[in-house]
Amino acid sequence: KNQVEQSPQSLIILEGKNCTLQCNYTVSPFSNLRWYKQDTGRGPVSLTIMTFSENTKSNGRYTATLDADTKQSSLHITASQLSDSASYICVVSANSGGYNKLIFGAGTRLAVHP
């Protein structure tokens, strides 16, 4: 069964600190892995996307890693800001019958406190 599991479920950090969010997946056949940021009451916004051959991708203060062998990904946030408070969703794309099917993780709810 295709699954995406994220940890921790929620996280509180102080402004300026770094944090790392985890994503483990069992998706086959794997196509790519995406991280999205979702502010409360808004739609998800893409942060990074990585294919099988990529093991790191950065977008400003966000750096995603991918280990396709262990089927793990992480999202590292550097020098956190209050505006980073949001849910971060790991989404794995699986090839299914000639098109891609998105498998969503439950998300990590990050709260950055001053």
Closest to 107 in 3D by CA, of 21, 3, 1: 21
Please, is 23 exposed, middle or buried when counting C-beta atoms within 10 Å of its C-beta (0-12, 13-18, 19+)?
Answer: buried
Query: Measured from the CB atom, is 25 or 36 closer to another protein?
Result: 36
Minimum CB distance to another protein, residue 46 (Å) = 7
Query: Measured from the CB atom, is 18 or 100 closer to another protein?
Result: 100
Query: Measured from the CB atom, is 11 or 49 closer to another protein?
Result: 49
Minimum CB distance to another protein, residue 75 (Å) = 15
- Footprint of another protein on this chain (CB under 8 A)? 31-32, 34, 36, 41-46, 49, 51, 89, 91, 93, 99-100, 102, 104-107, 109
